[in-house]
Amino acid sequence: MELAFLSVLIALAWFWMDSLDKREKAILLGRELGAKFNLQLLDETVACHKLWLGRNRRGHVQLLRTYVFDVSASGSDRLSCHLTLLGGQLQTWHIPPYLQPIA
């Protein structure tokens, strides 16, 4: 019983630490995407909107996280945006009215 509890506790601690790391990466990517289009990342933060499982190019299962954030061109407007990370890699992003280039 103690071993199962300890395993769950370790898994939760890993998930929490991994989520903090990916959130920091999403903030950095949101800031970089905004700067690419001369937009400012508002509130200097992102929020995890969706969390599910996905497969990378090798077929390995990884966590797929979608983060939402707001950017502004002038400081008085707000554009709702999102980006998706598979593991630690940027998969997709959407900043209206800008289109993501097709890879």
pLDDT digits (tens, 9 = 90+) for 86-100: 999 999 999 988 777
Q: Does residue 27 contact residue 81 with C-beta atoms inside 8 Å?
A: no
pLDDT in tens, 23-79: 999 999 999 999 999 999 999 899 999 999 999 999 999 999 999 999 998 878 899
Give the start-to-end residue ranges of the domains of the chain: 21-94
- Name residue 90's beta-bridge partners: 85
Alpha carbons 43 and 40: distance in angstroms, whole number: 9
